[in-house]
Amino acid sequence: MKSTILTDERMQIVTGRIATIFLGLTQTALLGVILFRRYFLGQGEEYYNDIRLILAVSVFGYIAVRLYYGAVFPILSVKKLLIIYIGFVIFLTIVLSIWLGLPTLDNWENTILPVLLGPAILLFGYWLMAFLGNRRMEKQISDN
């Protein structure tokens, strides 16, 4: 006799919420381990680089998958993306200048370039995944 598991939409929603909660708890625990090793044990970055990589892939992968499969993240216009980009650059410049001092031009690839390129890569990735997810949803709707 073959066993089948019957699921309805409510059960899928509940299991999806449970999975999201536990993913968030896991990501928070990984961040806690990183902070504990860094600030309480005084370990160098080489001792927790693997955990940082796992956390980054988990967080950005989760956001990308949610965007692609049609989560509630909006597709932002170019104007809004530009405003957010400028805000990120200004915020990073201020925080890093206070924390590390004003950047020098002789070391621009380590001081200025990450501040300009990091937010651009993140925002482009966000826009691309939201666009592809929206296109996928529209195609799915038109096929039905």
Cα radius of gyration (the chain): 20
- Regarding whether 61 and 103 lie in a shared domain, the answer is no
**What are 131's two structure tokens?**
């666009």
Residue 83: its pLDDT value, please? 94
Instruction: Report the C-alpha gap between 122 and 59 in whole angstroms.
Output: 12
Q: Are residues 122 and 102 in the same domain?
A: yes
- The answer to whether the beta carbons of residues 23 and 58 sit under 8 Å apart is yes
The label of the residue with tokens 């966000």 reads 126
Residue with tokens 């860094």: 38
pTM: 0.61
* Burial category of 132 from C-beta neighbours within 10 Å (exposed 0-12, middle 13-18, buried 19 and up): middle
Alpha-carbon gap, residue 96 to 131, rounded angstroms:
32
d(Cα 43, Cα 52) in Å, to the nearest integer? 14
Compute φ and ψ for 73, nearest 5 degrees: -80, 130
CB 84 within 8 A of CB 122: no
Range of the domain at 126: 74-144
pLDDT digits (tens, 9 = 90+) for 87-115: 999 988 888 888 777 777 777 777 778 88
Residues 22 and 63 in one domain: yes
**In the predicted model, what is the mean pLDDT of residues 3-16?**
70
Single out the residue in 45, 68, 91 at which a domain terminates.
68
Looking at the fold, whether 118 and 82 belong to one and the same domain comes out as yes
pLDDT tens-digit map of 24-59: 899 899 889 988 998 889 888 888 888 888 988 888
